[in-house]
Amino acid sequence: MTGPGRVAVGIDVGGTKTLAALVAADGTVLRRRRADTPAAAGPAAVLDTAAGLAAGLLPAAGDGPVGVGTAGTVDPATGGIRYATDSLPGWAGTPVTAELAGRLGRPVRVVNDVHAAALGESWAGAGRGRARVLLVSVGTGLGGALVRQGRVDAGARGAAGAVAHLSAPGAGRLRCGCGRYGHLEALASGTGLAAGYAVETGERITGREVAARAAAGDAAARGVVARAGAGLGAALAGLVTVLDPEAVLVAGGAAEALLPATTAAYAAELPAAWVDVPLLPAGLAGDAVVVGAARLAVDEEGD
Ligand SMILES: [Zn+2]
């Protein structure tokens, strides 16, 4: 994959933080600006914050375009939000592309944040040099995306790669964010770790705290993390046989905690024809979304 050949601005709109970055033609982040996302104040305030951060970077971007990765399902045709969780109240239905283009006075491209992260990782991170990469992101929730020849396969409704709702044997009667039961996200996500620990111990703590307790040797936490990691690894092994990628990348805040169990289950479940498909930790950490969004903006400028 070649670089886009110009500087662009990438924006990552998350439920708690918004990050804007000036991204060089080779995928290097040159400058960052960040702020708390005013999610509770509604979509207009969220858009104002994103635009304000990006505006400070535009002079250095020349006439470079702006790309946005955001939580929620993005309509590929309009760049509006089709569906979003409660992390961004009122975000569903927001025409993000049009609103930000109006505020910034230049073209804006919008994509789901996990899709952007997969694009960033395949361009300048752990998937560099591979034509076909599957990325899963284990954060508060669980997301995924497939990149082929430098493009995200977004699917018919912009939701391709939504691995959250695969049936997972270990998830039992845990409730998924979609409202159904026994799905992978109910097991392998920050909320899944928290729910699993509450079932085990009766104690309500965050997924991050469950991971920290597991690292410190807490037996119940270790069990919850091991089950989550194993469920994810088995699911990824199955997905590899369907999608036949060159590599699988695991990103997100809970990735490090789950990786040992995920790697073991993945290796145990993977059929012989795919044993050379590596499972790798993502490489760009918090920059993956802005890097991928900037890449998308440059790639689609002429479309
Ligand atoms: Zn679900």
CA–CA gap between residue 29 and residue 114 (Å, rounded): 18
pLDDT, one tens digit per residue, over 141-162 is 999 999 999 999 988 888 889 8
Question: Backbone phi, then psi, for 75, in 5-degree steps?
Answer: -70, 115
pLDDT of 105: 93
Q: What is the largest CA-CA distance in the chain?
A: 56
CA–CA gap between residue 94 and residue 227 (Å, rounded): 37
Domains, the chain: 8-119+286-301 (3.30.420.40), 129-282 (3.30.420.40)
CA of 189 to the centre of ligand 1 (A): 12
Please give the model's pTM, rounded to 2 decimal places: 0.92
CA–CA gap between residue 58 and residue 151 (Å, rounded): 25
pLDDT, one tens digit per residue, over 184-207 is 999 999 999 999 999 999 999 999
CA of 185 to the centre of ligand 1 (A): 6
Residue with tokens 């509770």: 40
- CA 94 distance to own-chain centroid: 20
Mean pLDDT over 9-28 rounds to 95
DSSP-H helix ranges across the chain: 43-55, 96-104, 113-124, 190-201, 207-215, 219-243, 255-269, 288-299
CA of 241 to the centre of ligand 1 (A): 22
CA of 177 to the centre of ligand 1 (A): 6
pLDDT, one tens digit per residue, over 2-13 is 445 689 999 999
pLDDT of 173: 83
CA of 17 to the centre of ligand 1 (A): 25
CA of 299 to the centre of ligand 1 (A): 32
Q: How would residue 302 be classed by pLDDT, with cut points 50, 70 and 90?
A: low
CA of 212 to the centre of ligand 1 (A): 26
pLDDT of 85: 81
For the purposes of burial, counting CB atoms within 10 Å of the CB of 236, is it exposed (0-12), middle (13-18) or buried (19 or more)? buried
Q: How would residue 303 be classed by pLDDT, with cut points 50, 70 and 90?
A: low
CA of 266 to the centre of ligand 1 (A): 21
CA of 14 to the centre of ligand 1 (A): 20
pLDDT, one tens digit per residue, over 237-285 is 999 999 999 999 999 999 999 999 999 999 999 999 999 999 999 999 8
CA–CA gap between residue 202 and residue 72 (Å, rounded): 31
**Structure token digits, residue 176:** 């998924």
Residues sharing a CB contact under 8 Å with residue 138, sequence separation 6 or more, in sequence order? 188, 189, 190, 232, 250, 251, 252, 253, 254, 255, 258
Angstrom distances, CA of residue 262 to CA of 9, 168, 234: 34, 14, 8
pLDDT, one tens digit per residue, over 124-142 is 999 999 999 999 999 989 9
CA of 249 to the centre of ligand 1 (A): 21
